[in-house]
Amino acid sequence: MRIVNGVKRSACAVLAVGAVASGAAIATAVPASAAGADFRVCSDGSYDSSVEFPARGGLSTVIVPSGKCLNAGSFGGSGNVEQINVFGHDGAAKFLVTTGNFRASKGGNVITYGTPQDAWALTPSV
């Protein structure tokens, strides 16, 4: 009987260590997901593009040249819906292409198309 109890105690100890180890892995995974997903801007039209975040004090991306993409990184893990303004740049002229929304926790892509006279864009789905 002592051998059986000893085996049971050893098995319980192994399970406890495994549970603690997997709990630590879950605990370290949570902050990574709280960081949010990347936000990307691609200028696929014949003009340069940028995105402004009014709720963040007018923060905006750099101007992305036509034919290029920018990975602007993460804007945090907030699940709040925030407005974005997508702008086109044609030389010194700056014009509004569209407005949209995004969630920092989901990130997303903004892709601009067309010409300055017929500009349009896809924005993240929230």
| CA proximity to 95, closest of 44, 29, 35, 50 | 50
Which amino acid is residue 24, in one-letter code?
Answer: A
Task: Encode the chain (126 residues) as per-residue pLDDT tens digits.
Answer: 455 454 444 444 444 444 434 333 323 333 444 578 999 999 999 999 999 999 999 899 999 999 999 999 999 999 999 999 999 999 999 999 999 999 999 999 999 999 999 999 999 998
Distance CA 83, CA 53 (A): 6
Count CA within 13 A, CB hemisphere, residue 40: 11
Distance CA 96, CA 70 (A): 19
Distance CA 97, CA 111 (A): 11
Model pTM greater than 0.95? no
* C-beta separation of 114 from 46 below 8 A: yes
| CA proximity to 106, closest of 87, 71, 79 | 79
Give me the pLDDT at residue 29, please. Answer: 37
